[in-house]
Structure 1
Amino acid sequence: MKNKYKDLIDQTFDFPTEEFALNGNMLSFHGVDIMSLIEEYGTPLKFTYLPKISENIIRAKNWFANAMEAQNYKGKYNYCYCTKSSHFKHVLDEALKNDIHIETSSAFDINIVEKLKSEGKITKDNFIICNGFKRSEYITNIARLINSGHSNCIPIIDNFEEIDLLDEQIEGKYKIGIRIASEEEPKFAFYTSRLGIGYKNILPFYKNQIKENPKLELKMLHFFINTGIRDTAYYWNELLKCLKVYVQLKKECPTLNCLNIGGGFPIKNSLAFDFDYEYLVNEIISQINNTCAEAGVDVPDIFTEFGSFTVGEAGGAVYEILYQKQQNDREKWNMINSSFITTLPDTWAINKRFIMLPINNWNKQYERVLLGGLTCDSDDYYNSEQHLNAIYLPKYSSDTPLYIGFFNVGAYQESIGGFGGLQHCLIPHPKHILIQKNDRGEISTKLFAEQQKAEDFLNKLGYNEK
């Protein structure tokens, strides 16, 4: 009878995959022996497999390059990294190895850009695309960057008064973009995004506030929808509306030559994940090409702002099953040695799905379980795994440790969870490991951050005042 956990996976999915394989009874991730990490560093732990960041950037660049070549597209492609997905220096250092650009969201992002410039990681040739609703400190920082000579810093105008605020502080001529306020899917509680300027208002806005302003050079139209880039009627309809605005604006504004289609490429959340990135890229390039040809205008340079796609699939979190609680005839709770609310907040806040697999004991029989965290909060659990909300794991035994891993968790978890800060029920943030691979394929690891200690919390709570 095939009732081992390994049999379940073999019967349900195509396994091994490009990321996952078995080394005997143990799981490996991109050739990294996860059990060796556990033995060296203990659990709970988080890790970032840095080579995956470069790999995904290169993949996306190739998709766009191939599509543009196949369709004789005359514009260029520019890959931007959306910093809000993960601001960590090791992430930016790895991403910037690949001739990319940066998209920012708030004031402190500019301080990070300036730090990276001082280290030679960013030069004046890198585009800095400044999104978000801009208040005084963000405006001041953008102006400082432009006034220092970074002419490729492009603030994206989000509301009607931002131009006046920028004009007050920026010396001389500067480039801008305009963000389209896209219409949301019918399931949303509102019709139009709070970000950007409505479709019908963009051309009048250009004529009234931009066209006659000698300091301004409109370079970019920015388009993004919350659901990201998907093969749906909603996405294609919004893209076509965006292209109509681009064509109208281009005929009025010769300097407009860039179209930013935002981010939103999905990342793998299941072993059964199947998404045709190449088809989507080809179709996007085709629609832009055809629309511009029909209107008799030059095609724009294309910008994207991939965040989760850049860094998400590089991250993992590993926990130990501490104990199994049989709460009734049907429900077995496997308790992890950490908290989902604090370490994977997307699972709790928006029911986000991640790939979850055991690290060891694949040759044991499997059982259906629930996964619970350590906090005293009834919402500290995970049930969104790939098996239609049922979680199957090797049978728990107090005699043999069982470790589980959540994969592709590299985007947003640390920033949403407040890395290094106070955590719910004072559950400490796990230690964080960086994994690198050299040219010979040799893997090395180093400790980026220790697990929080009681003293860290006491200091923040004011108990250790001098």
Structure 2
Amino acid sequence: MNTKYIDLIEQTFDWPQEEFQTENNKLFWRGINLMDLIATYGAPLKFTYLPKISENINKAKGWFQASIDKHNYKGNYFYSYCTKSSHFKHVLNEALKNDIHIETSSAFDIDIVLNLKKEGKIKDSTFVICNGFKRDQYIQNIGNLINSGHENCIPIIDNFEELPLLQKETSKPFKVGIRIASEEEPKFEFYTSRLGIGYKNIVSFYEREIADNEQVELKMLHFFINTGIRDNAYYWNELMKCLNVYINLKKVCPTLDSLNIGGGFPIKNSLAFDFDYQYMIDEIVHQIKQACDEAEVSVPNIFTEFGSFTVGESGATIYEILYQKKQNDRERWNMINSSFITTLPDSWAINKRFIMLPINKWNKQYERVLLGGLTCDSDDYYNSEQHINGIYLPVYEKNNPLYIGFFNTGAYQESIGGFGGLQHCLIPHPKHLLLDRDAGGNLTVTIFKEQQKSSEMLSILGYEESAETTGNTKKILKEAIL
């Protein structure tokens, strides 16, 4: 009788898979023995596998180039990274190895751009696409970047008041884009995105504010919908609306030469995941070319802003099952040695599901369980997988620890969870490793951040003075005496 965990997986999915294999009843991820990592660095543990970032970037570039060649498309493709998915320097350094561009969303993003420019990672030729609702500091920082000579900085106009504010902060001519306020899916609580300018107002806005403006040149139309790039009627309908705006705008604006279709490529969230990326890109390129050819306007350069697709599949998180609580006849709670709210906040906030697999004990019988976090919060749990309404794991044994891994967690989790700051119930953030390959393909491991210490949280909370606070206090006292 097939009652082992390995039997369950092999009967349910195609197994092994590209990134997952088992050996001696232990899980290997991208060729990495995860039990060896645990033995060396412990658990809970977070890590980022840097080569996957470059791999996904170059996959997307290849797919777009294949479609451009297939359809004899006359425009170019530009891959941009959406920095809000993960602002960490190791992520940007890896991504920028691949001749890409970036999209920013706030004032401090521009400080990161300036830092990377000093190191030569971002060049003057790199497109810096500035999205989001722009407050004073963001406007000022964009102006400073343009004034410094970065001609490929393109602020995307989100509302009617941003253009005059940008003009006040810039002493040079500059390029802009306009974001379309797309219509939301029928299930949303509102009809139109709060971001961007309505379809019907874009051409008149251009003619009124930009057409005769010697300081401003319109280069890009920006389009994005919250549900991302999906093969459904809603996506294709919104794309066609966007193309109609592009065509009408292009007829009165000869400088317009780029269409930014945003981000939204899905990433693998289940062992049963199936998404035909090449087909979707083929259809997008074909639809753009067909619409432009019929309208007799030149096709645009295509920009994308992939965030989760760039970095999501590079991340993973490992927990140890500390204890099993049997609360009634049916429910077994496997308690992890961390918190979902602090380390995988999307699983709590938006019910997002990741690939979850045991790291060891694949030859043991399995049972249905619930996963609980350490906090005293009733919402700190994980109770189902993407493909089934339940969680099955090897049986709990008190003297034989079970470790579990959540995979493709590299986007948003650290920033939403407040990396390095306060954590819910003061549960510390886990140790974080950077995994890479040397020239010979050998795995290299660097500790990016040790597990958070109590002193770090106590300092934030005001119980312990940090060195910076102490120094500032002494400076103020000295100035007062003088």
TM-score range, shorter chain: over 0.9
Counterpart for residue 18 of structure 1 = 18
Shift of 1:464: 1.1
Structure 1 residue 386: Cα displacement: 3.2
What is the DSSP-based 3-state SS (H/G/I as helix, E as strand, rest coil) of the residue aligned with 2:91? Answer: helix
* 1:297–1:387 Cα change, 3 Å: closer
Correspondence list, 1:123-202, <5 A:
123-202=123-202
**1:94 aligns to 2:94 (yes or no):** yes
Report if aligned partners of 1:26, 1:360 keep a CA contact under 8 Å in 2: yes
Mapped partners of 1:349, 1:388: distance in 2: 20
Any conservation in 1 of the 2:336–2:371 contact (CA below 8 Å)? yes
Provide the secondary structure at the position in 2 that maps to 1:154: strand
* Contact 1:352-1:384 at 8 Å conserved across structures: no
Residue matched to 1:244: 244
Distance 1:35 1:89 in 2: 27
- Kindly indicate whether the alpha-carbon contact (under 8 Å) linking 2:146 and 2:172 is maintained by their aligned counterparts in 1: no
1:450 aligned partner? 450
TM-score (norm 1): 0.99
Q: For residue 356 of structure 2, give the secondary structure of its aligned residue in structure 1.
A: strand
Within 2, Cα distance between the matches of 1:384 and 1:217?
Answer: 50
Deviations 1:280-299 (A, max 9, x none): 00000000000000000000
Please list the CA deviations of residues 85-133 of structure 1 after superposition, one character each: whole Å capped at 9, or x if unmatched. 0000000000000000000000000000000000000000100000000
Letter aligned with residue 157 of structure 2 = I
Q: CA deviation at 1:389?
A: 2.2
In the alignment, what sits opposite 1:365?
365
* 8 Å Cα contact 2:219-2:258 kept in structure 1: yes
1:374 aligned to 2:374? yes
Q: Which residue of 2 aligns with 1:9?
A: 9
Give the 3-state SS of the residue equivalent to 1:328 in structure 2.
Answer: coil
Instruction: Give the TM-score normalised by the residue count of structure 2.
Output: 0.96
Report the alpha carbon displacement of residue 439 of structure 1 after superposing the two structures with TM. 2.7
Q: Contact 2:272 / 2:387 at 8 angstroms: preserved in 1?
A: no
For residues 131 and 464 of structure 1, the distance between their equivalents in structure 2, rounded to whole angstroms, comes to 38
8 Å CA contact 1:227–1:264 kept in 2: the answer is yes
Q: Summarize deviations over 1:239-278 as a string: whole Å, max 9, x none.
A: 0000000000000000000000000000000000000100
Partner of 1:210: 210
Matches within 5 A, 1:10-409: 10-409=10-409
Q: Partners in 1 of 2:157 and 2:15 — Cα distance?
A: 47
Alignment deviations for residues 308-351 of structure 1 (CA, whole Å, 9 cap, x no partner): 00000000000000000010000000000000000000000000
Whole-angstrom CA distance in 2 between matches of 1:28 and 1:440: 20
Q: Deviations over 1:228-249 (max 9, x none)?
A: 0000100000000000000000
Letter aligned with residue 399 of structure 1: N
**Number of residue pairs matched?**
466
CA offset at residue 387 of structure 1?
4.4
Secondary structure in 1 aligned to 2:206? helix
- Rounded to whole Å, the distance in 1 between the matches of 2:193 and 2:122 is 32
User: In the alignment, is the contact (CA less than 8 A) between 2:182 and 2:193 conserved in 1?
Assistant: yes
SS of residue paired to 2:248: helix
Structure 1 counterpart of 2:153, one-letter code: C
Verify the 8 A CA contact 1:351 1:384 in the aligned structure 2. no
> Aligned with 1:287: secondary structure?
helix
Q: Hey, what does 2:474 align to over in structure 1? A: none
Shift of 1:421: 0.5
The aligned amino acid for 1:312 is G
Q: CA deviation at 1:384?
A: 3.0
**Residue number in structure 2 paired with 1:461:** 461
Paired amino acid for 2:89: K
Deviations 1:121-155 (A, max 9, x none): 00001000000000110001000101000000000
Q: How far did residue 23 of structure 1 move?
A: 1.8
Runs of at least 4 residues of structure 1 off by over 4 A? none
Counterpart for residue 479 of structure 2: none
Deviation of residue 5 (structure 1)?
Answer: 0.2
Distance across 2 between alignment mates of 1:381 and 1:389: 14
Alignment partners' CA distance in 2, 1:386 and 1:259: 33
Unpaired runs of 5+ residues, structure 1, are none
Deviations 1:12-71 (A, max 9, x none): 000111110012111011001111110111010100000000000000000000000000
- Structure 1 SS opposite 2:422: coil
Give the Å deviation of 1:74: 0.3
* Long gaps (5+) in structure 2: 471-482
User: Displacement, 1:172?
Assistant: 1.9
The match for 2:477 is: none
C-alpha spacing 1:298/1:387, structure 2 compared with 1 (3 Å): closer
2:188 match: secondary structure: coil
Q: CA RMSD in A?
A: 0.6
By how many angstroms is 1:399 displaced?
A: 1.2
Distance in 2 (CA, whole Å) between partners of 1:369 and 1:272 is 21
Cα distance in 2 for residues equivalent to 1:387 and 1:397: 26
Is the Cα contact below 8 Å between 2:366 and 2:394 reproduced in 1?
A: yes
After superposing the two structures, state which structure 1 stretch, 384-393 or 205-214, moved more: 384-393
Q: Is the 8 A contact 2:434 2:445 kept in 1?
A: yes
Q: What is the DSSP-based 3-state SS (H/G/I as helix, E as strand, rest coil) of the residue aligned with 2:325?
A: strand
What is the CA distance between 1:453 and its match in structure 2? 1.1
Secondary structure in 2 matching 1:259: strand
